[in-house]
Amino acid sequence: MQFTKMHGIGNDYVFVDCFRQSLPEAPETLAPKISDRHFGVGGDGLILILPSDVADARMRIFNADGSEAEMCGNGVRCVAKYVYEHGIARKNPLNIETGRGVLTLHLEIKNDTVRTVTVDMGEPILEPPRVPVQLRGQAIVDHPLTVDDLTMAITCVSMGNPHCVIFVPRIEGDLVARIGPKLEKHPLFPNRTNVEFVEVLSQSEARMRVWERGSGETLACGTGACAVCVAGVLSRRLDRKVRVHLLGGDLEIEWKDNNHVFMTGPAEEVFTGVWPE
């Protein structure tokens, strides 16, 4: 099976072009094997690029533990780059079908190479039953929650996939590794959750680290950065247009007046290879 290794600011995935081939086994079992950084190719998960009846292509994303996610921000930018550069659809903008519907992606192309992509990520989802989070209210903003004797204020946002955002004075020590997995699997989140730890640098700038559902700490999370922007506006910490600094690089996020969240960032192809059948 041919694969392509790509990443969005260090959030790296193994991509399989399912227009041209089929998988040797179910993606839920292939993803952990191919994502293993010692015994496999290595990555935060597996992303399938498939034909679609309603868009130029369809994306399915499987985390490193084999769980399928509804949406993927860094990954969908890479899908758009692949679809354009490998001739599946030489269009700009592109439409990509995802677990949360069809998204529109605008490409920045130089010398026939896709450099950066702006994704209309759609509207944030705040109603607790739709995140889902088992708390009452119109939206969960700065809700106190104690884990491991640490009381935090959580803000819950779905971008198609669930996010638990926590603003802290400083992201230090083992906070991410200690608290991330406990919140990922906390009973409040029936589908588990991604967990973002955020330092506000100014009204228009934040630094974040992320513990991802099904993958652990990653260098970046696109849907997570969108959730951080929304949570920052709801809690009056951030403007609607922010630069988010992640371990792997920066993303520009804007929550526009039409209630859609836009994410702009790079997408890179690293290498191709053959996975033995």
- What is the size of the binding site for ligand ZDP (CB under 6 A)? 18
**Active-site residue among 72, 78, 156, 229?**
72
Residue closer to ligand ZDP, measured from CB, 61 or 88: 61
For 12, the enclosing helix (H) or strand (E) is strand 11-17
Least distance from ligand ZDP to the Cβ atom of residue 196, Å: 11
- Asked if 18 is an active-site residue, the reply is no
Least distance from ligand ZDP to the Cβ atom of residue 111, Å: 26
- Asked if 78 is an active-site residue, the reply is no
Residue closer to ligand ZDP, measured from CB, 17 or 212: 212
Task: Please state the separation of Cα 230 from the chain's center in Å.
Answer: 15
Q: How far lies 91's CA from each of 62, 72, 83, 109, in Å?
A: 26, 21, 9, 11
Is 118 a binder of ligand ZDP (CB under 6 A)? Answer: no
Which of positions 87-106 make contact with ligand ZDP (CB under 6 A)? Answer: none
Q: Are 59 and 51 in contact (CB under 8 A)?
A: no
Question: DSSP readout, 59-117?
Answer: EEEEETTSPEES--HHHHHHHHHHHHHTTS---SSEEEEETTEEEEEEEEEETTEEEEE
> How many other CB atoms sit within 10 Å of the CB of residue 69?
25
Strand partners, 79: none
Is 48 a binder of ligand ZDP (CB under 6 A)? Answer: no
Is 212 a binder of ligand ZDP (CB under 6 A)? Answer: yes
Which of positions 249-268 make contact with ligand ZDP (CB under 6 A)? Answer: none
Is 35 a binder of ligand ZDP (CB under 6 A)? Answer: no
Q: Under the rule (CB under 6 A), what is the footprint of ligand ZDP?
A: 11, 61, 63, 69, 72-75, 161, 194, 212-215, 218, 221-223
Q: Which residues are catalytic?
A: 72, 221
